């Protein structure tokens, strides 16, 4: 079997392992260090003068722990280089800043993660970078929005909270025709279910806090790129002093080893809940691209090989007291942000749209299906709806 033909399930188990260098240990140990001693004066002088540097020269620049994690993610992504940073949001902002400069223009999907939108409207605006939000469903029609200074198109598919599926290959083709870079937040599907770089994306971003970590106990982000962007991205990250701690890299790498197994369970549980919710009289619409009735289902089937446990639900009109009664009565769904861990979560979803209004009949909630028994989760939701009706 060639290296290129390896499946994700095999890659996550074998990639980035450095057993021969660490006395046969399966997992690379945690290297907590700032200072790394050079073997001699010549080595130290060579690095200072810009000559060949040793493999590990300073803790912030990399350790065996960070190398193991980044190499494993890079192989899963099909990337020339992956860098790890302190959070998923930092991965988004770092990817954008590594491409743009004052006077540039970017196109940002209108369904983007809320903090990414705030970054564009705040930090980028102060830097002199203009942002135009585009309808996530434009596809190749995005060409009409390009300007002479458009340097980046930022996608997220499915989109945060509304779960609209974007035609990434069509968008990438148009962007590259205009000399622009394509970045994508691929946290929902991960490279296991959506090979972003193979679909035309230049910078593939993941909040590894979520499905890669998998246990709600780590904050970390990754950016993966092909050869064309590798040196530029690495230099930018080092120049900014960005660094994911070895402890977080160790936890993320441990989570990566079981990613496909957990994702399959999240996908199955999420789809089971989504189909059950579709039939509920309290529900107006379920936002899940793996449902045959979803507007994005055809694109999802074409470009994705699976789904995650995260999806949205539009309820029929209710008041805030009824929504509170529903959510407060749940026993197996935690009321908390983030997602991708083993536990089920539920939150009310509030979002801003400026390119095209997203119509909803009633309140929107976001559900993350964890690894619990679906019968227990359905019973919990059923009891919640009963409490909603009684309020």
Average pLDDT over residues 180-203: 98
Dihedral-angle region of residue 334 (phi above 0 means left; psi in -120 to 50 means alpha; beta otherwise): beta
165 with 274, same domain? no
Q: For residue 372, what is the domain's CATH number? A: 3.90.1150.10
252 with 264, same domain? no
Round to whole Å and give the CA distance between 184 and 295. Answer: 21
Say how many domains are in the chain: 2
Which H or E run includes 259?
helix 259-278
Domain boundary at 256, 276, 299, which? 256
Chain mean pLDDT for the chain: 94
239 with 269, same domain? no
190 with 331, same domain? no
For the stretch 252-281, pLDDT in tens is 999 999 999 999 999 999 999 999 999 999
- Write out the DSSP string of 16-48: T--GGGTTT-SSPPP---SB---SSHHHHHHHH
pTM (two decimals): 0.94
pLDDT at position 42, please?
A: 81
Residues 225 and 233: beta-carbon distance below 8 Å: yes
227 with 317, same domain? no
Average pLDDT over residues 94-101: 98
Round to whole Å and give the CA distance between 387 and 380. Answer: 11
247 with 279, same domain? no
Domain boundary at 221, 256, 291, which? 256
Q: For residue 84, what is the domain's CATH number? A: 3.40.640.10
The count of other CB atoms within 10 Å of the CB of residue 82 is 25
241 with 267, same domain? no
Positions marked active-site:
60, 113, 185, 210
pLDDT at position 45, please?
A: 77
Residue 2 has pLDDT above 80, yes or no: no
361 with 291, same domain? yes
Domain that holds residue 35: 3-256
pLDDT at position 20, please?
A: 85
138 with 186, same domain? yes
Residue 190 has pLDDT above 90, yes or no: yes
Round to whole Å and give the CA distance between 36 and 38. Answer: 7
Give helix then strand counts, H and E, for the chain. 14, 12
pLDDT at position 48, please?
A: 66
86 with 149, same domain? yes
pLDDT at position 369, please?
A: 98
pLDDT at position 301, please?
A: 98
50 with 172, same domain? yes
76 with 157, same domain? yes
Residue 1 has pLDDT above 50, yes or no: no
With bands split at pLDDT 50, 70 and 90, how would you rate the model's confidence at 25?
A: confident
Domain boundary at 256, 284, 310, which? 256
């Amino acid at each position: 079997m060639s290296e290129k033909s390896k499946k994700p399930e095999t890659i996550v188990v074998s990639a980035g392992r450095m057993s021969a260098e660490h006395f046969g240990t399966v997992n690379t140990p945690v290297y907590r260090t700032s200072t790394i001693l050079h073997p001699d004066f010549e080595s130290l002088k060579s690095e200072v003068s810009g000559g060949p540097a040793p493999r590990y020269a300073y803790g912030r620049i990399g350790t065996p722990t960070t190398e193991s994690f980044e190499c494993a993610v890079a192989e899963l992504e099909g990337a020339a280089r992956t860098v790890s940073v302190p959070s998923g949001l930092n991965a988004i902002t770092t990817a954008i800043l590594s491409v743009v400069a004052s006077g540039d223009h970017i196109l940002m999907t209108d369904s983007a993660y809320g903090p990414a939108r705030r970054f564009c409207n705040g930090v980028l605006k102060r830097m002199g970078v203009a942002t135009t939000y585009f309808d996530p469903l434009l596809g190749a029609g995005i060409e009409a929005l390009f300007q002479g200074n458009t340097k980046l198109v930022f996608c997220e598919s499915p989109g945060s909270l509304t779960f609209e599926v974007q035609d990434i290959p069509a968008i990438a083709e148009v962007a590259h025709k205009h000399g622009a870079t394509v970045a994508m937040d691929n946290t929902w599907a991960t490279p296991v279910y959506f090979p972003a770089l193979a679909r035309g994306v230049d910078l593939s971003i993941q909040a590894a806090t979520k499905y890669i970590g998998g246990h709600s106990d780590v904050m970390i982000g990754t950016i993966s790129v092909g050869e064309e962007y590798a040196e530029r991205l690495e230099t930018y990250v080092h120049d900014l002093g960005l660094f994911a701690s070895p402890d977080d890299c160790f936890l993320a790498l441990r989570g990566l080893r079981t990613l496909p197994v957990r994702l399959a369970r999240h996908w199955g549980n999420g789809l089971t809940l989504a189909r059950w919710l579709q039939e509920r009289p309290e529900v107006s619409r379920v936002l899940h691209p793996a449902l045959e009735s979803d507007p994005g289902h055809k694109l999802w089937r074409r470009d994705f090989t699976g789904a995650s446990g995260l999806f949205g639900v539009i309820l029929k009109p209710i008041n805030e007291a009824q929504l509170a009664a529903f959510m407060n009565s749940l026993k197996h769904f935690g009321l908390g942000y983030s997602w991708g861990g083993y536990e089920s979560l539920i939150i009310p979803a509030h979002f801003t749209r400026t390119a095209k209004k997203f119509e909803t009949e009633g309140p929107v909630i976001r559900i993350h299906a964890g690894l619990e028994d679906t019968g227990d989760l359905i019973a919990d939701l059923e009891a919640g709806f009963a409490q909603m009706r009684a309020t």
